[in-house]
């Protein structure tokens, strides 16, 4: 039997695309999973948001090229954001690669593989009708192919982004913003609930700029949250500019909308935020956080932070620390700035020395570790509802799940099943997660 191995890098949108590709490959007769070195087809679903994951892709291509020398029939495909950005260059530089395709082409995967099998190496990086702002970008025949994993179904509601944050490659790799019709989204959500999804995660690079047939993100959120049978609704990522008091109020009052929010702020200094073209300043951001904290009980926040943006002074960097202290995120994704080809910021001199970036990152991580510690400690003895989503990979009889606010909990309860929603008392903690007992 033909076997395929998919390695996914990057964000949840890439996870979602990989899940779709698993289905398409299975339909085409592939068994997906197993060992990469033995697979007939290896697909790298790539991310170009930073230099590091991109380099990892190329080192993996190198490793695969060596395996291909022994097994020339192996097909190597590179998909995702690096593929969209680099296109033809990948085929030219890496002779072992057979197929390069962008995120808008995933539904043509079986046909593209057939072309490779017929002896044609290929690059497919076109956009699907990007002139239209509204598009049902999951084809009708794929609408019911969504899968439920760990009790959760992922549903893409937008793709691309019309903001042009100076450091960000996403508008180049995912294109301009396209929203999907409300009814089409609801049909997919209903199908996932019928298949056992307790939780739905709405996805997009910029979810709250959703706009389709007169419906904004708030209408969509309300409509999905009201679907019978759904217990939890999450979404990622929203942009702070499009986050407003109405959304906070809806989150506060709707029991199905989870009390966790990823709200990227990137930098604390207003000058850097302006250079980044973020269109919000520190005060506006913190005011939104303050209102969220006031209204939404039990809310946990997460964010993205970049240190060492070109020209960032020590004092400006310290404003980033100040935002961390005030907002008290549970989780942060913090990175050293690295220029991405084709972005506005790449035209600026990357003038902050690596050691300075590293020292700043270390300070951010140290401060954050203390904040996360406090949040975890504050959970001891509390009662939480936990959605069981996996068996512990190493410990027998231990199941794992997440609280409403997206904190990880491990509990010793071998009889539980994935998808169970159980009341738990928090009895202890580990470095980044909680321990609990069913109560």
Positions in the binding site for ligand SF4 (CB under 6 A): 161, 163-165, 168, 170-171, 205-206, 239
In DSSP terms, 32 is beta-bridged to: 4
**Least CB distance from residue 171 to ligand SF4, whole Å?**
5
Do you know the residue count of the chain? 439
**Least CB distance from residue 216 to ligand F3S, whole Å?**
22
Q: Kindly write down the DSSP assignment for every residue of 12-54, as one continuous string.
A: HHHHHHHHHHHHHHHHTTPEE-S-GGG-SEEEEEE--SSHHHH
Under the binding rule (CB under 6 A), the answer on residue 424 touching ligand F3S is: no
Under the binding rule (CB under 6 A), the answer on residue 267 touching ligand F3S is: no
Under the binding rule (CB under 6 A), the answer on residue 11 touching ligand F3S is: yes
User: Which of 22, 44, 49, 296 touches ligand F3S (CB under 6 A)?
Assistant: 49
**Least CB distance from residue 160 to ligand SF4, whole Å?**
8
Residue among 11 and 327 whose Cβ is closer to ligand F3S: 11
Residue 175 binds: one of ligand F3S, ligand SF4, none (C-beta under 5 to 8 A by kind): none
User: Which of 112, 123, 169, 224 touches ligand F3S (CB under 6 A)?
Assistant: 169
Under the binding rule (CB under 6 A), the answer on residue 173 touching ligand F3S is: yes
Contact status, residue 79 vs residue 124, Cβ threshold 8 Å: no
**Least CB distance from residue 46 to ligand F3S, whole Å?**
7
Using the 8-state DSSP alphabet, how is residue 394 labeled?
A: S
Contact status, residue 75 vs residue 64, Cβ threshold 8 Å: no
Positions 76 through 135 that interact with ligand F3S (CB under 6 A): 80-81
- CB-based burial, 74-110: b 16+ in 10 Å, e otherwise: bbbbbbbbbbbbbbeebbeebebbbbbbbbbbbbbbe
Residue 14 binds: one of ligand SF4, ligand F3S, none (C-beta under 5 to 8 A by kind): ligand F3S
- Helix/strand/coil for 9: coil
**Least CB distance from residue 333 to ligand SF4, whole Å?**
12
In DSSP terms, 235 is beta-bridged to: 202
**Least CB distance from residue 433 to ligand SF4, whole Å?**
28
Sheet bearing 199-203, strands edge to edge: 148-149, 152-156, 199-203, 232-236
Under the binding rule (CB under 6 A), the answer on residue 157 touching ligand F3S is: no
Beta strands, E only, 273-418: 300-307, 331-336, 383-391, 398-403, 408-412
Residue 10 binds: one of ligand SF4, ligand F3S, none (C-beta under 5 to 8 A by kind): ligand F3S
Spatial distance between the Cα atoms of 117 and 131, rounded to a whole number of angstroms: 33
Q: Point out which residues bind ligand F3S (CB under 6 A).
A: 10-11, 13-14, 47-49, 80-81, 169-170, 173-174, 205
């Amino acid at each position: 039997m033909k076997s395929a191995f998919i390695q996914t890098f990057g964000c949840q949108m890439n996870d979602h695309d990989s899940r779709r590709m698993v289905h398409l490959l299975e339909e085409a007769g592939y068994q997906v999973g197993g060992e990469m070195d033995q697979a007939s087809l290896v697909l790298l679903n790539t991310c170009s948001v930073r230099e590091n994951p991109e380099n990892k892709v190329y080192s993996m291509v190198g490793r695969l090229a060596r395996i291909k020398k022994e097994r020339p029939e192996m097909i190597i495909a590179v998909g995702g954001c690096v593929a969209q950005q680099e296109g033809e260059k990948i085929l030219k530089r890496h002779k072992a690669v057979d197929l390069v395709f962008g995120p808008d082409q995933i539904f043509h995967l079986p046909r593209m593989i057939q072309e490779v099998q017929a002896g044609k190496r290929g690059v497919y990086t076109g956009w699907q009708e990007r002139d239209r702002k509204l598009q049902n970008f999951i084809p009708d025949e794929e609408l019911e192919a969504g899968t439920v994993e760990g009790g959760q179904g992922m549903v893409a509601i937008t793709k691309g982004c019309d903001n042009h944050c100076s450091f960000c490659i996403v508008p180049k790799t995912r294109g301009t913003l396209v929203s999907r019709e409300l009814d089409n989204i609801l049909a997919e959500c209903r199908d996932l609930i019928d298949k056992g999804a307790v939780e739905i995660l709405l996805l997009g690079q910029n979810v709250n700029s959703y706009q389709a047939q007169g419906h904004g993100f708030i209408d969509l959120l309300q409509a999905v949250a009201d679907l019978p049978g759904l217990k939890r609704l999450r979404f990622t990522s929203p942009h702070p500019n499009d986050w407003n008091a109405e959304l906070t109020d809806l989150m506060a009052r709707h029991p199905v909308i989870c009390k966790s929010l990823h709200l990227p702020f990137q930098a604390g200094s207003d000058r850097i935020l302006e250079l980044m073209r973020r269109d919000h300043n520190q005060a506006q951001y913190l005011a939104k956080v303050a209102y969220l904290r006031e209204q939404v009980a039990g809310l946990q926040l997460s964010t993205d932070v970049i240190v060492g943006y070109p020209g960032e002074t020590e004092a400006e960097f310290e404003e980033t620390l100040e935002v961390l202290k005030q907002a008290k995120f549970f989780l942060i994704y913090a990175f050293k700035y690295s220029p991405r080809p084709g972005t506005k910021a790449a035209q600026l001199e990357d003038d902050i020395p690596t050691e300075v970036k590293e020292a700043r990152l270390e300070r951010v991580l140290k401060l954050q570790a203390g904040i996360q510690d406090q949040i975890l400690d504050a959970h001891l003895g509390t009662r939480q509802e936990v959605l069981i989503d996996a068996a512990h990979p190493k410990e027998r009889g231990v199941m794992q799940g997440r609280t409403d606010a997206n904190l990880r909990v491990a509990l010793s309860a071998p009889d539980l099943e994935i998808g169970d929603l159980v009341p738990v008392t928090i009895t202890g903690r580990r470095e980044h997660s909680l321990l609990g007992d069913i109560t």
